[in-house]
Structure formats: structure tokens, C-alpha cells
Amino acid sequence: MPTRPKVSIIGAGTVGTAAAHWIASLELADVVLTDIIEGLPQGKALDILQAGPIAGFDVRLAGSNDYAATADSDVVIVTAGIARKPGMTREQLIDTNAGIVRAVVAEVVRASPRAILLMLTNPLDAMTYLAYRVAGLPRARVIGQSGALDSTRFRTFLAMELGLSVEDVHGLVIGAHTDKDMVPLPRLATVRGIPVSHFLSQERLDAVVARTRRGGAEITELMKASGFTAAGAALCEMVEAILKDKKRVIPTCVYLEGEYGERDVCVGVPAVLGAGGLERIIEIPLDASEQAAFAASVAAVREMLPALKL
């Protein structure tokens, strides 16, 4: 009987739990949830497991406070870290979360040296860069979730504005995973191949772009806590692309080696995800305003890197 892939999730908070739920519901892999809080990952795993008979999924889920349970994972998702609170920027999280990521990545690589790492901890671009440098793995195996989440928010808001099915709306967000520095690309957004500019005025497109940039902050202000359902679904989309070798084009945060004219920085760009993790970066031609916005976004990420003390 073939063995299912194994996905471990470090951090059994809301995003980690949502990711586990989505992954289990699609029967993509057996899942291990880990956390430093005793009982939390065990309880979360058991809760999801008990939904299996109703929802019709049949995978193994386990919770643990020990990295030994994560050994030999195919994919490890790192969500560990403190979450953003109302009025707080992702950048303000850097000092605390850098220490957490250093410790977590060292343990993960020791337990699962062949795993692909998917980073979620904020500030995402800086934490992905830190993980890449600390892990000592090829860049193909250290990937941050950025545009995967930001793009689904962009598509959602476009569909709401258009009054059309979100299934037919496609859009792309590149750049840093920060409120002011992400770069939605409305010029390339389409409805079944039809440019969205055919349907919406520039004023309405600008409004959608502005709402996309504050997509996470809007949820945080409403709930007084960070969003988690869409973030978990975006992680699941990345896991599925890797485990099923789907060659999906998903904008993600990766280490650049000259692409888009940038080096030695992790930032969101369109990427092909498959069995090897990052299999290819797609360089799309940007117009002058898009290029300027992307350059400013990269500069904002670089400003955070000295704080990592690498």
C-alpha cells in the first residue's frame, strides 16, 4: 500500500490549523501539527480528525510538542511566531519572530533534511530570507507565501466589483507582502482572458488595488485578530502544487539571483511550483510604473534585512 506524503505544520495557531484542515480535506497528505503549547496541537489535530467521517476525508492527523514527530516530512509549513494585532505592521514583528524562525528552521532541517519549506511567519519576505540563509538549502526548497494570498484577495475584490464569478477572474500580485509595498497588477488582470479594464474604470480599479493592499489589515481591524482561512487555503494550494507536481504558476516569495534585476533578496514574483519546489521564476515585462513600484517594494524589504543580524 503506497505511503501518503507527510506535511508538518510548525505552529498550531489559527493559520496552521486552517492549513491542516484544508490539506486534510483534500487528502493531500498525512499531517503533523506541532506547537510549544502542551495539548494545543494534539487537540487541534483530534478536532479536525473527527470531521473526517462527515466530510469524507481519511488521512492521519497528529499533534505533538516534539520535532521528532515531524521527521522525514515532504513539506514543512512554518507559521510559528507572534501574530499581528490591530494597528501593528508586519515589520514591527521582526525582532521577536526572527528569533523564533532561527530556532524553528534549525530543528526542521535536522528532522527533515529533504523537505521543502513553506514560510508564513511575518514579516514574510524578511523571514523567508532568514530561513533561506539559516537552512542552507537550495533556493528551490525555501518558499514564502506572499502573492498566493494577496492574489486571491485581489481576485476576490475584483469579482465583487465586477459582479462576476470569482472562478473566471484572474489577477496577480507581486512584490513585498506588506500593506503599502505589495504590487497588484491590474493591467494583467482578466475575466476569462478579457482585460478587466474592459469592465471597470481606472477609478474603480484603483479602489480595488487599494483594498487589496489593506486586505489583511481590514480583516484584522474587523476581527481584532489576523485572518486565517484564506491564508490556510493559499498554503494548501502551494502544498498541492508541490505534492502533485502540478507545475502551477503561483506568485510566491523566493530568493532572487538576478531575476527582475535583483539579487540576494526574497520577494514575491510569479513562480512555477512542482515536485522540486520552486521550479522556475517567470519574468514578465513590467511597464514603467509597475517597475518603479516593484523596485520600491524590494527596497522596503532590503531595509528590514540588517535587523536580522546575519
Grid cell, residue 93, equals 514583528
* Tens digit of pLDDT at every position of the chain (310 positions): 468 999 999 999 999 999 999 999 999 999 999 999 999 999 999 999 999 999 999 999 999 999 999 999 999 999 998 876 666 665 677 888 999 999 999 999 999 999 999 999 999 999 999 999 999 999 999 999 999 999 999 999 999 999 999 999 999 999 999 888 999 999 999 999 999 999 999 999 999 999 999 999 999 999 998 899 999 999 999 999 999 999 999 999 999 999 999 999 999 999 999 999 999 999 999 999 999 999 999 999 999 999 998 8
List, by residue number, the catalytic residues.
177
CA distances from 245 to 7, 110, 219, 234, 239 (A): 15, 25, 32, 16, 10
> Domain for residue 1, yes or no?
no
What size, in residues, is the chain? 310
Residue pair 119/131 in contact by the 8 Å Cβ criterion = yes
**DSSP type of residue 140:** G
Same-domain check for residues 160 and 272: yes
Same-domain check for residues 207 and 271: yes
Same-domain check for residues 266 and 203: yes
Same-domain check for residues 135 and 244: no
Output the CA angle 61-150-248, nearest 5 degrees.
65
| CATH number, position 266 | 3.90.110.10
Q: Which domain holds residue 275?
A: 147-308
Residue pair 117/127 in contact by the 8 Å Cβ criterion = no
Same-domain check for residues 240 and 295: yes
Q: Based on the structure, what is the number of domains in the chain? A: 2
Rounded CA-CA distance 128/98 in Å is 10
> Domain for residue 109, yes or no?
yes
End residue of a domain, out of 107, 123, 144: 144
End residue of a domain, out of 100, 120, 144: 144
> Domain for residue 302, yes or no?
yes
Model pTM above 0.85: yes
| HEC letters along 232-271 | HHHHHHHHHHHHCCCCEEEEEEEEEECHHHCEEEEEEEEE
| CATH number, position 127 | 3.40.50.720
Rounded CA-CA distance 93/41 in Å is 23
> Domain for residue 177, yes or no?
yes
